[in-house]
Homo-oligomer: A and B are copies of this chain.
Amino acid sequence: MDTYKIIEVKQSVFEDNDRQADLLREELKRDKTFLVNLMSSPGSGKTTTVLRIIEALKDEMKIGVLEADIDSDVDAHTVSKTGAKVIQLHTGGMCHLDADMTKQGILELGTEEIDFAILENVGNLVCPAEFDTGASKNVMILSVPEGDDKPLKYPLMFSIVDVLLINKMDTINIFDFDLEAVKERVKKINPNIKVIPICAKTGEGVEEWANWIRSEVKSWNE
């Protein structure tokens, strides 16, 4: 039996998304729930990365996951097996989540018992970058097979994230990917970005990301 709930999120009625996002962020702060908005292209390894971080942190904090997808619940099904509380959000064709849609998910998830929540956004490097979800921090994944030119082509996304995880590092010798060039390109548009190379499949680098979350959860609760 699957232990996750599926909700069809309704399109937002609020015109001022930034205001709704600020309100949600204040509520999350009050409830001591640190929310990460995780964004990437389709197929960069978001779900495997979520599984790894749950594994690394589940004995230290209560974790909740919002899985956003246009259709299907394959990811919610996978993530629910970890024991984390999971809500599947169906966006009904929408290419991104806004603050109100995130709020609908957070209400279902409940914040009282959740220390760290992850919103797995719709796989898309364009539209999600334009909408503040109300999350505490933004994290994105770029996977090695996608190529090192992506910061040049999708600059907005790279400019709004706090952490860039570079995933599938085990394939760096197969693909023509220049890690230093990526770092240089992203620091030019986002000087404070933290870049962490990982391999979600093997677990390489995940501890560094876990340490960042530990430290952020602590600050969020102060």
A residues contacting B by CB (< 8 A) are 41-43, 69-72, 74, 93, 95, 122-127, 130, 143, 145-147, 149-150, 152-156, 168, 171, 174
Are B125 and A156 interface neighbours, CB within 8 A? no
The residue in chain B whose Cβ has the minimal distance to the Cβ of A48 is: B147
Alpha-carbon distance between A62 and B147 when the two chains are bound, in angstroms? 30
Alpha-carbon distance between A126 and B95 when the two chains are bound, in angstroms? 6
Residues in B with CB closer than 8 Å to A72 are 149, 152-153
Are B42 and A154 interface neighbours, CB within 8 A? yes
How many copies of this chain are found per oligomer? 2
18 inter-chain pairs at a CB distance below 8 angstroms, sorted by A residue, are A41-B41, A41-B42, A41-B43, A41-B123, A41-B146, A42-B146, A43-B150, A70-B156, A71-B154, A71-B155, A93-B156, A95-B95, A127-B127, A145-B146, A145-B168, A145-B171, A171-B174, A174-B174
Are B152 and A71 interface neighbours, CB within 8 A? yes
Known contacts A69-B153, A70-B154, A174-B174, then 4 further A-B pairs from the complex at CB < 8 Å, ordered by chain A residue: A70-B156, A72-B149, A124-B125, A124-B126
Residues in B with CB closer than 8 Å to A93 are 126, 130, 156
Are B145 and A42 interface neighbours, CB within 8 A? no
Alpha-carbon distance between A125 and B93 when the two chains are bound, in angstroms? 11
Residues in B with CB closer than 8 Å to A122 are 126
- Least CB distance from A52 to B in Å reads 16
Are A43 and B127 interface neighbours, CB within 8 A? no
